[in-house]
Each structure stands twice: as structure tokens, then as C-alpha cells.
Structure 1
Amino acid sequence: MTPVEIEKIELKYLNKYYYFLKFAEDEMFAGFKTKEAIKDDWFGLYGSSEGEGISDFAVGAERIVYSLINGKGIGQPNSSPVGADLFFEVEDAYIHIDMKTVNLNNIGDFTNSIFIGENQNSYKGTIKKRSGIEEVYIPALPTFYNKGKDNEKICLSYFITILYDKEDLSIKIISIDSMPNGELEYHYKERPLRAGKNPGKARYDLKEVNQFELLPNKPSRIKVVYYDETMSDDLQKKLKLFKTIYNNQH
């Protein structure tokens, strides 16, 4: 499979999941609202965890989104213990999907780069730290499953990201992002990777790599499923990339 063919299939499934999430948008938000009926029994009892990619909003939101995707039967779920939270096999690929929730207080974790686990991507590369030290990042996923065999299929990584207000748990943006397959390292080099908060951990640098650079017109690697147009002007300025993508989709 050529690098261009890799980006074509990455874009193919990015579009497929974007349209699915748009189709299920009303069901998603109906699911998000179900917490309100029992608010007196949970409000004030939840808390934040300190790890990257974990928030007080994460568990409930993930439950809703994952139930919708699983319920529609997109591909065959795979039981491998190594993989993202959702792992499907389709006709021409193995697809890993993970979900990230970020509150407005940590907006840079949404606009600049997002935490990625080793089980969620196939991009091996060198991370340049602020200290000047270079660290080799080794993911747990292969670039292709059964590489070199008759049943070889590419490994694709996607992240559904939600930006929300911690004060009232209102959602500001829902997007889905496509991280480059590790075979594209020859082109993107170290640009998709940034140092995580802990040694050996990494982040996907959305600010640096957010286009399919090998395809005509360089389509975006980010699709905005939902954008709250009532956000303040100051907040929308901070979310300029996502606003531009959202506007270009409409």
C-alpha cells in the first residue's frame, strides 16, 4: 500500500465515522442529558483524576458514544487485549477508536495536542523534549496487521474528542481526529509526536499535523461533529482552527 493509498483509506473512515456521528448527534445529546434526571444523586460526588486524558466528564460521555457506535454494528469487534477502547475489523482495515474529554480549563490539551496511549496508535518516532533530550517513542500497535500475509490489513487510529465546560458540563465541541499511520513517518517525521507529561508518554500534535498532506487539496484530519456557536468571541478565537474547519464543512 502506497503512502497516498494509506491517506485515502484514513480519510475514507474519518468521513464514515464523522457522518455516523452527525447522523447520531440527536441521540448523543439525548444520552448526555440523561444524567440530569438523577443529578441529585451524583452531583458533587464526582471528581477529577490527575492522569492525562482522564476527566470527571469522561466516564458518562464515553458510555453514551461507545454504546451508539457499538449498537450500529460498524465492523466486527476484536477481542485483542492490545488496542484502543473500541477496536473493529472491517473489510479493508483494523480500526482503533479512543475518546478524549477535555475541560475548558485545559483548553490547550484540545487545541494543540491530545494524549495518546501506546495501545491507541502505530506511530513510532523521536520526541524532542524541551530539555533538548530526544526520546524514541514506541507504540504498541503495528502499522499493518498480518503484514506480508494474504490477510494483511492496515491499522487505523481515530480519536473522538469532546471539549466541555467543567462548571455546567455543557459541551462546546465534538470532533473526530485521524492520527497518521506509522508507515507515514517517512513524510511527517517527528511532527505528529510531542512529549507527554510523564516519561515514555506521548501526545498527538494536532496543531502541527492536521491535514492529509499527501492528498490533493490537503483535506483536514479533523472533522467537527458539533460546534457551539454561542461561545464567547474570546473562546472562539482560541478555537480558531476548529471554527475554520466547522465553517468549511458547511
Structure 2
Amino acid sequence: MATLLRKIGLIRLHNRDTEDPKHHHNHRGGGQQSASLRGKGGAKSGGHNAGAPGPRERAAGARAGPGPAVAAAAGGSLVPAARQQHCTQVRSRRLMKELQDIARLSDRFISVELVDESLFDWNVKLHQVDKDSVLWQDMKETNTEFILLNLTFPDNFPFSPPFMRVLSPRLENGYVLDGGAICMELLTPRGWSSAYTVEAVMRQFAASLVKGQGRICRKAGKSKKSFSRKEAEATFKSLVKTHEKYGWVTPPVSDG
């Protein structure tokens, strides 16, 4: 983690990192989303303008046959490989920028630890929720210093959302479901925007916990049971299908 943070100063998020390479288009579905989730800055696109080939070059090209770009367009493997490399670079730059911004937070709202030093697998500690909430009171009474979550970032992040789940403590209500799955539309492809930052998502999650009357489970036998990723993935998949059919109700940040 320390090594990665030392490298952060050498890496900058390009403006195009918030554009979807699929024709720079990012689809957003229905549902109420907060303007505070949007990132700063605009997006630009640019290109490389090469000179037109002369007669000799055209003749040589005709003798040599189609070049790599033509072969790739005809179904070769170069275009997918180049696209994968581009997505990896965009994801890495974006996440390094996110780590840098989180490290600069003055209120210590959240902190991050990389899982097995992987830039694409984070354990995030949520240190604060509304201090007037019953959940904050639970945290004080049980000496719970933070709520621990895991975020894994897909290959095409930030154009697709991370998978996010609660690890500990075991929570009840607060839009936290079986396995630690989280019922939030913005964590779905339909509700996600590439402009959303990890910090903003975590603040929305904290607001949802309070709005949904989240509590730390204290039931004998159940409170010690660990959340399961497999169960969380199955639960999340099921709830997405349900809400796509009947609609979403997500509390706005202003209500948190």
C-alpha cells in the first residue's frame, strides 16, 4: 500500500478517463441520483492526424497486402487486445487518483487497505456515520471503530460499478442484505455513472445505512456469523432483477 501511494504522485488521471471508450457514451437509467456523486472537471477527446501516403507508399502497401489495422478490423485479435490494454490503463490511473484523493481527506471519513497488494481489490473502513443515529450509538456501545467493506473493481471500471459488500460487523436493515450485499441502485450498471467516486459512493452508503435504520446485530449465534461473498453476489443479482421489474427507491443524500 505504501509503495503504491508513493507512486501516486507520478500518475495523473487523464480527462478522457471519465469517458466510455464505447463512442464516449455512458448510459444512465432511472432513479434518483445525487449531484454530489459527480466528479469534477470535463472530458476531452483528441486524435492523431497523420500525413497521407504518397504514390510509392500506396504501391508498396498494395503489394504487401492489408496492414494490422485492416486485419484487426476483419476479425483479428489486435483490436480486442488494444482495447483491453486501454481499459487496464484507464482503470489503473483512475484508482491511483482515487487513492490519492482519499489519502488527502481531512475528516478521516474512510480509509483504504489493498487486498494482497492488488490495486483492484480494496478493503474500505467506514469510520463515521451520522452521530445522531442509532447505528452510531451501536458502534460506540460495542466498541466498533469502523464498518469494513470490500470493493472489487471490474476490468472496465470506471464505466461499470465496483462490486461492494459489507464484511463486518454483521448489520441488520440499512439496505444491507444477506451476505452483506447492498441494495443501492448506483451500484448497478443501470444506476452507475463513471463520474462517481469511491468517496462519494461511501458517503451515499453511510446515508443509506442511517435512512434504513441500520443496526449492529447482537442476536446470540447470529452476530458472530461471517458474511459470505458467494451469498452476497447471489443476493445482489436477485435484488437487481426484482428492482428492475418493480423500480428502485434510493434515499437521497439530503435525507441522510
Per the normalisation by structure 1, the TM-score is 0.30
- TM-score, normalising length: structure 2: 0.29
Greater fraction of residues in strand = 1
Q: Which has the larger radius of gyration?
A: 2
Structure with greater proportional helix content:
2
Greater relative contact order structure (CA < 8 Å, 6+ sep): 2
